[in-house]
Structure 1
């Protein structure tokens, strides 16, 4: 490919109020110029923005591109001369092989499709309890706090074995360092508090194992520090992503009433609907990789040390991969989205997230046949663009009593 690549000068992030489901317009435009664009990171370091489905998938499967934390740059913040430390023990999402496998391998058997299906009955119970509380307090609710957050929070706390009496304060603390809005001092305090709590939890599970994933892992050669890091990764993956999918997914369905009606009328659509919402929303917007050597990619040469921003939301809207990609179609046949990533870092808890959504969406729609937004769509507040996960801060809804 002899022509010069398209150049993106800033990492676009703004979404359209009222319909925040589409990728930022500048990213879609960049994809229109080709699947790779040049990008200069703050501080002047050259890199790439990858927006096409095939190339994003290719990079995720290629171990010549590293996930190591110490090799990353922030797309919009200038670190200056600060050296980024390696990922702490256990936080395997930001590691390469063989360290990555040391932590992920003991977890693989804990998150099988079969084991997650055994959780379905409990997820149904948790969902029904959340809907009962909404119904008793309503009409009118913030769907984020009443529905989207409690379901994954209760499930992940039970998987980790967080004692019931600790769950409220623990969940609040975790969310406060994930929401992208907490001030620096509060963020550090919340993060430190979470780490301290997890250290206490690991010690408690070693002393008195119970029936949960964390207790199972204490029977391995993993250290307390490693178990704390693994727990933090499971929390981040199990709480924030699913909560935002449930809230933003409901918003998308309410804005697409024909699709909502189809899901309500045809329960058998639920599995396909979950996959389509995952593709359409791509709440985990971007991931990073760093080239460990010179690599030919899409007709371009990515030099060793160059960073790549992988745009999941444009990859999942790539017209070369998906027909009418900007249309929410719960009957869509062309699957294979990248919402859970691909390759060795593909989301470990994807089956759990699928089941939570598979249970929660139909239950909500069937419990409240007249569910609707309580404010104009453009007044629904969005999460700040610096948040790692795209979503809404709140979703005011109401229904007929």
Structure 2
């Protein structure tokens, strides 16, 4: 299943045949599948898949994405990145780790569970988007809104992102930090560098503004989160000359913030700090995701126990790393993340151990057993 999914060239926003393949497999298992294409002005249309088996509670959902990042230079790969190659126990290809292996593992886990129990006393669903690696506008968020309009309730959700740093069983994600990107612009007056009194150097003004943002830690962290981090990503003036004071200076920074902050409170803090230094600046802020936490409880325990039973490792319950579509799901359902080892995701020669995919399928099957046998 993983190899077949990799052979679908589903680079965001292309569907590439991946959702067609999943729909075929899931309908054979009895799922009712709905394709949900969404588009918005200025963005590419994206196809999504909602598949559901059964009715009522408990409703367990597996969420993920079939879209992948571009492979880069094909000649740098050992194999065709979309050939779906099994070599010396390794599955090689774009999306093997992030996250076609996990999607395949969930489908086979459901098949194995159904073969054992016949039917589930509740419902199982898959929410699969083609817009996670892109702008995340026409994907999971819009599917969730569509479900809410229909009165569909999800009781628990597992996202198959590659959460393990080194070995399968290392880590379960129970939350994520929020992400805020700021674009700071300072307007000046261009002039000859030998006559600074006739100009207004925006470089000299943007430096203390940025220093004010990084001078002190944002916080010391919290029970489940590491300290918030403000990092400057770029400082640009677009000036190739050495004897010209530029007319404008720009900087981009990103803040990964914990549960001491919301996007709104963090933006207010940033604007206050900048205003204490200088009034002549412009700031554009985008919050791509709020910080969230699914406190350790039944869902995290079910996943962690399934991982330990299969691998012998007790996984760390972590909130590290970047953002994922779990940032949208958390508003509708408790959500945790567990998938494959992510060492090679987005890299040339992306790969995972075939045995890990098999083990992951068994872990997902154990999760289903705990959810439905207990229920």
Superposition TM-score tier, normalisation by shorter sequence: under 0.3
TM-score normalised by length of structure 2: 0.25
For normalisation by structure 1, the TM-score amounts to 0.24
The structure with more radius of gyration: 2
- Greater helix share, structure number: 1
Structure with greater proportional strand content? 2
